Amino acid sequence: MSIEIKKGLMGVTVDETSISKVMPEINSLTYRGYAAQDLCANCGFEEVAYLILNGNLPNKKQLIAFKKEERADRKLSKSLIKVLKQIPKKAHPMDVARTAVSVMGLEDKETFDNSPKANMRKTMRIFAKTPVALAAFYRLRKGKKIIEPKKNLSFAENFFHMCFGKVPNKDIVKAFDVSLILYAEHSFNVSTFTARTITSSLSDIHGAITGAIASLKGPLHGGANEEVMHMMKKIKKPENAEKWINKALDNKDVVMGFGHRVYKSGDSRVPTMREYFGKVAKIKKDKKFEKIYDILEKVMIDRKNIYPNVDYPTGPTYHLMGFDTDFFTPIFVISRITGWAAHIIEQHSTNKLIRPLAAYNGSKYRKVIEISKR
C-alpha cells in the first residue's frame, strides 16, 4: 500500500485557529476577522497587538491599560544587560533575540505556570522587553551607551529612541507601525507552527518563542527581508536592475521577496507596505531603491507570473529608516511575538501533542554482526 507524502505539510490541515485567516472572498489577510490593511489605516500597532492577544479591538480604557502595562514592563534586569554586553558584537541580532528571551525565561518567576492568565502576563513582559533588549544590543555593537526606554513613548517611538537617540517624524513612525501590523500574525507559518509544536509538549512560553525566533531566522521565512536588501545592494543602481533580474531568471537563481505558499496572485499586505515604502522614500529623498523595486517586480510578473510578498517592500523601507540590514528580521520578531503568543495560548486551550508520522525509506532489517567479523 503506497503512502502519499505531503512534503512540507503542503495542503495539510492540522488544527483550527480563530486568530487569523487569508479570506479569499475579500482577498485579504485578516486578524480576528479584520482585514490587515483596514487595521493599518485605522489603528496603531498597540491596538492590533491587543486585538490579536485578546480577540477584540480595545476600547479607550482597555487600550490605556494595555499601553500602561507594556510600558511598565520595558525595563531590563541588570543580569540581562550584563549578558547583552558579553555577546560578541558580530553576533547576528536574531541570535541575540533568541538569547534574550531565554534569559527572560530564566528570570521569570512564572516560567512554569502555563495558566492563561500567567501566560498573558509573561507575554506582556516578553513583548515589552524584547525590543528593548534588541535596541540595547544595536547600541552596544556600535560602541555606544544603552539608552533607557521612555514610558511616554509609543512602542514604535521607543524603539527608534533607543536605537538612534531620537524619534523621527510622525510619517516615518506611522510607516514603521504599519510594518509591525502587517508582520504581527500569519496563521500556521513555519515559526508559528514551531511555537505550537513546542507548546504541545507543555513546554513554557519562553521556550516556544525562542524556538519560533530560531525558525524565523531562516531566509525562506523571516530572513527574506534581509536577503531582499542584500539583493538590492548587489544591483546598486536602477540602470543595472533589468539586466540583473533577467540573468538571475535565466540562471534559475532564487529571487528573494517573491512568491508565497499561501498567496498565488499576490500578497494582500504588499499594496499597503508598498505605499508606505514610497512615502518613506519621498521623505528621505531617495528614489533609487523604489526604481529598482519597480523594475524587478515588472520582470518577475511578466516572465514568471510571480508576485512580491511583504518582505519585498519592507526590506528597503527599513533600510531607508536607517536600520542595519541584519536588524530587519529582529524587527519582524518584535511584531510577531503577538501572533506567536496568541497561538501558544490557543494551543494550550485545546492541546494535543503534535507528533506526525514519517514513511521509512531506510535499510531493511539487518542483523548485528560482532565487530571482529565486520
Task: Supply the CATH number for residue 288's domain.
Answer: 1.10.230.10
What residue has cell string 494582500? Answer: 268
In 3-state terms the chain splits into helix, strand, coil percentages (rounded to 5) of 60, 5, 35
**Same domain assignment for residues 198 and 233:** no
- What is the rounded distance in angstroms from the CA atom of residue 273 to the CA atom of residue 292? 16
**Same domain assignment for residues 278 and 154:** no
Active-site hit among 161, 260, 319, 348: 260
Decide: 323 and 331 in contact? Cβ < 8 Å.
yes
DSSP sequence for 18-84:
SSEEEETTTTEEEETTEEHHHHHHH--HHHHHHHHHHSS---HHHHHHHHHHHHHT-PPPHHHHHHH
Asked if residue 208 belongs to a domain, the reply is yes
- Distances, alpha carbon 174 to alpha carbons 4, 20, 37, 40, 45, in Å: 47, 23, 13, 9, 9
Q: How many CB atoms lie within 10 A of CB 288?
A: 15
**Same domain assignment for residues 167 and 256:** no
**Same domain assignment for residues 130 and 279:** no
**Same domain assignment for residues 192 and 164:** yes
pLDDT at 25: 86
Burial of 11 (0-12, 13-18, 19+ CB in 10 A): exposed
Dmax of the chain from CA atoms? Answer: 78
Q: Is 59 left (phi over 0), alpha (psi -120 to 50) or beta?
A: beta
Domain closes at, from 279, 304, 321 = 321
Quick check: is 311 catalytic? yes
Quick check: is 221 catalytic? yes
pLDDT at 1: 58
DSSP class of 55: S
**Same domain assignment for residues 178 and 78:** yes
Task: Count how many domains the chain has.
Answer: 2
Quick check: is 348 catalytic? no
pLDDT at 67: 98
| Nearest-10 Cα torsion for 349, 106, 98, 203 | -30
Asked if residue 53 belongs to a domain, the reply is yes
Asked if residue 354 belongs to a domain, the reply is no
Decide: 188 and 339 in contact? Cβ < 8 Å.
no
- Position 246, amino acid: N
**Same domain assignment for residues 72 and 85:** yes
**Same domain assignment for residues 307 and 164:** no
Q: Give every CB contact of residue 97 below 8 A, 6+ residues apart in sequence.
A: 130, 133, 134, 213, 330, 333
Asked if residue 197 belongs to a domain, the reply is yes
- What is the rounded distance in angstroms from the CA atom of residue 122 to the CA atom of residue 128? 10
pTM of the model: 0.94
Asked if residue 10 belongs to a domain, the reply is no
* Torsion angles phi and psi, residue 20, rounded to 5: -150, 160
**Same domain assignment for residues 63 and 32:** yes
pLDDT at 262: 77
Chain-centroid distance of CA 175 in Å reads 16
Domain closes at, from 321, 338, 364 = 321
Active-site hit among 311, 319, 343, 348: 311
Asked if residue 361 belongs to a domain, the reply is no
- Selection from 62, 88, 189, 194 nearest residue 140 by Cα: 88
Active-site hit among 92, 221, 324, 326: 221
- Position 358, amino acid: A
Asked if residue 366 belongs to a domain, the reply is no
Q: Which domain holds residue 197?
A: 18-220+327-349
Decide: 157 and 173 in contact? Cβ < 8 Å.
yes
**Same domain assignment for residues 141 and 24:** yes
The grid cell for 370 is: 560482532
The grid cell for 143 is: 560602541
Please list the ranges in the chain whose pLDDT falls under 70: 1, 264
**CATH number of the domain to which 53 belongs:** 1.10.580.10
**First-to-final CA distance of the chain:** 35
Q: How many CB atoms lie within 10 A of CB 232?
A: 24
Asked if residue 41 belongs to a domain, the reply is yes
pLDDT at 24: 86
**Same domain assignment for residues 167 and 36:** yes
**Same domain assignment for residues 140 and 282:** no
